Structure 1
């Protein structure tokens, strides 16, 4: 914070120079009209000797008065120089500068941002000191949601789930429908309650998925909560979505595969007559939707080759945006062929539980789902889940 003080002092000194010093140096001497000039004008205007005599007497009186104040200096000069007023004005400017600096300068925010940007080079002691600064700044500015989010993430990473939940609660008070915050709050509450999925945590996680079906914190919370409640089929549904969000071969992807194997093994123990389902191979399911996605006639295939294509299935006629199943495909060839099965079901749902679905296709340039990220879209309504035919969708440019 001391780095800004030289700037503040320089501005205050400049204000003093302009308000006090400059008027004392730069004075305009105004000579004005003399009494002789006035008398000459009167002589031209009047001819009455009596009036001229009175004017002459007035000139003599004025000259006598001027002689008495000569030692005090010119009246005009004294009127220009008012040091008391100028000093008071300079003090007010300095005070206003300090108040604005304290209230609006936010220099501490700048310093914190710089420290966060250089965290890769920070030591553990530096991180601890930075968190203390953020906590102090957050207490001074509780409406700064960025600080609340940073503290919440830090508390989660350090195992302080209760502290993280408190921070996420403050954010939700300002942004009650933010999917990421809802998911993180649900996860923090789940951990703070000893791995028990409370009704509030479940409701928040489900609300997060309604806004963003791929919100990882919400999916993980519902997966672990369902597993702990021995609802293994539901847990497997969430785990499959989490698996598909991870890069194949990564640690997270392998972790989800192992979790699905464990959940499937426990499910098979409960239903011994049911044939076990492999997690590495897609089972032959009677419920499926096969789709052929075609490009507009004027569009060259090279323009969208390699782009990410999302194929989304929702209950037919539903106005909710929550998907039942989603497939993510990298477009290598056009027309693009893809099949949705229960393996693509989201959030514990099952495609096979529906008779008809509405399909939506999104072609994304940045690899993220959602109409805001889609360059091309296509729709098809009332498609049979158990039909043998291949449904076709022709893409169109997204108007949004």
Structure 2
């Protein structure tokens, strides 16, 4: 930064010299001239000359008077406008003052509106950091200097993740996603930060972020890795293997992370093999409509009976469709009713049963709903579910 200020000072001196040198030259080379005094002296010399000619007898008294009158008239003519003021010290002081104030004003405006902090950051980033703490401090200052830089927010978020500060990283990734237009890689980083900030507890916002990221880019690496981690932590080893294999397939052969990822796949397969095979989950659900709703629904209205994971994705694990005319009814929910192959009832230890009346025939939106208490997906006793509440 010292070099910058030295160069700035030299430029200011050069600029001042262009203004000061002409002023100083003009002051030293200009001799003051008093035109009035000169004209008066010439007049007096002319009058003396006429008087001498009269004394010598060359002029008469009348000719002397005419000569003196002519000399006086010439004096008046020559001195006409001679009272115009010559430049004074104040008029020369004004350019000198301007020569000093203009550079100072420019310097003041630069300090107030310029980018000296960004110049300093650029110089610092040109040098390798001596520690992680120094790199973090640089990135934090860069984010303060350029709060609308998605790139700066992204790199600071990655640094916070490396320092086990996921909650702060999640906030930065959220800001970066808003600025950059919700790019898939930013959504994946945001979801991962939220997952670790919530102590590895899966939630609907995390699921929504990974769904959005993979919808835009099915090979988004962070989302695939995160879904594999969540499946492994939830002892859904087959799912973990599936996500990690998709991630492994897109990594270059020379990527250093391939070995670690393959080790994770191998561990998931070992644990899957060591886990006793679980019998296909099946839940018996008896669904009824409350008496208060009898006159508020139509026999043709659709009824969706489904099971959701208590801690997992928001998508239903198993669904059956009926109509109001079929109620009361008893249905079986099992892996055969899964909406997606990777989301099976048997893969989630705890679920919640729900039943929804939807006049439009949409399983995710309706008029009335009934909810059961959390229960094990391996429960064999029949469950009773009553549709009795408005669907928010």
Q: Give 2:109's aligned residue.
A: 99
Contact 1:195 1:225 in 2 (8 A): yes
Structure 2 counterpart of 1:123, from 126, 130, 140: 130
Give the drift of 1:194.
0.8
Structure 2 CA distance for partners of 1:221 and 1:9, relative to 1, 3 Å:
same
Residue 149, structure 1, aligned to residue 154, structure 2? yes
Q: Give 2:118's aligned residue.
A: 109
Residue 161 of structure 2 aligns to a residue whose secondary structure is helix
Q: Give 2:75's aligned residue.
A: 60
Specify every segment of 5 or more residues in structure 1 that has no aligned partner in the other structure, as ranges.
Answer: 36-53, 275-346, 351-400
Specify every segment of 5 or more residues in structure 2 that has no aligned partner in the other structure, as ranges.
Answer: 37-68, 281-339, 344-392
Residue 9, structure 1, aligned to residue 9, structure 2? yes
Residue 148 of structure 2 aligns to a residue whose secondary structure is coil
Contact 2:23 2:95 in 1 (8 A): no
Q: Give 2:175's aligned residue.
A: 170
How far apart, CA to CA, are the structure 1 residues paired with 2:97 and 2:127?
Answer: 45
Give runs of aligned pairs for residues 220-231 of structure 1, distance below 5 A.
220-231=225-236
How far apart, CA to CA, are the structure 2 residues paired with 1:129 and 1:166?
Answer: 21
Q: Give 1:201's aligned residue.
A: 206
**How big is each residue's C-alpha offset from its partner over 1:158-204, in whole Å with a ceiling of 9 and x where there is no partner?**
11112211221221221232222111111111111111222222222
Structure 2 counterpart of 1:232, from 206, 227, 237: 237
Residue 263, structure 1, aligned to residue 268, structure 2? yes
Give the drift of 1:82.
3.0
Q: Give 1:181's aligned residue.
A: 186
Residue 20 of structure 1 aligns to a residue whose secondary structure is helix
Give runs of aligned pairs for residues 1-400 of structure 1, distance below 5 A.
1-25=1-25, 59-61=74-76, 63-64=78-79, 75=86, 78=88, 81-88=91-98, 90-100=100-110, 103-106=113-116, 108-119=117-128, 122-124=129-131, 127-248=132-253, 252-268=257-273, 269=275, 271=277
**How big is each residue's C-alpha offset from its partner over 1:41-88, in whole Å with a ceiling of 9 and x where there is no partner?**
xxxxxxxxxxxxx9997752354577778xx8xx3x559953225413
Structure 2 CA distance for partners of 1:156 and 1:62, relative to 1, 3 Å:
farther
Structure 2 CA distance for partners of 1:105 and 1:266, relative to 1, 3 Å:
same
Contact 1:234 1:348 in 2 (8 A): no
How far apart, CA to CA, are the structure 1 residues paired with 2:83 and 2:154?
Answer: 77
Give the drift of 1:240.
0.5
Give the drift of 1:4.
0.9
Larger Rg: 2
Residue 226 of structure 1 aligns to a residue whose secondary structure is helix
Q: If the length of structure 1 is used for normalisation, what is the TM-score? A: 0.51
Residue 123 of structure 1 aligns to a residue whose secondary structure is coil
How far apart, CA to CA, are the structure 1 residues paired with 2:82 and 2:255?
Answer: 101
How far apart, CA to CA, are the structure 2 residues paired with 1:79 and 1:196?
Answer: 82
Give the drift of 1:91.
1.1
How far apart, CA to CA, are the structure 1 residues paired with 2:124 and 2:201?
Answer: 37
**How big is each residue's C-alpha offset from its partner over 1:270-311, in whole Å with a ceiling of 9 and x where there is no partner?**
64699xxxxxxxxxxxxxxxxxxxxxxxxxxxxxxxxxxxxx
Give the drift of 1:248.
4.7
Give the drift of 1:131.
2.6
How far apart, CA to CA, are the structure 1 residues paired with 2:215 and 2:71?
Answer: 100
Structure 2 CA distance for partners of 1:249 and 1:137, relative to 1, 3 Å:
closer
Give the drift of 1:12.
1.9
- TM-align CA RMSD: 4.2
Structure 2 CA distance for partners of 1:8 and 1:201, relative to 1, 3 Å:
same
Give the drift of 1:25.
2.2
How far apart, CA to CA, are the structure 2 residues paired with 1:67 and 1:215?
Answer: 89
How far apart, CA to CA, are the structure 2 residues paired with 1:227 and 1:167?
Answer: 27
**How big is each residue's C-alpha offset from its partner over 1:7-60, in whole Å with a ceiling of 9 and x where there is no partner?**
12122222222233333325898xxxx99xxxxxxxxxxxxxxxxxx9997752
How far apart, CA to CA, are the structure 1 residues paired with 2:149 and 2:166?
Answer: 20
Structure 2 CA distance for partners of 1:253 and 1:138, relative to 1, 3 Å:
closer
Give the drift of 1:6.
0.8
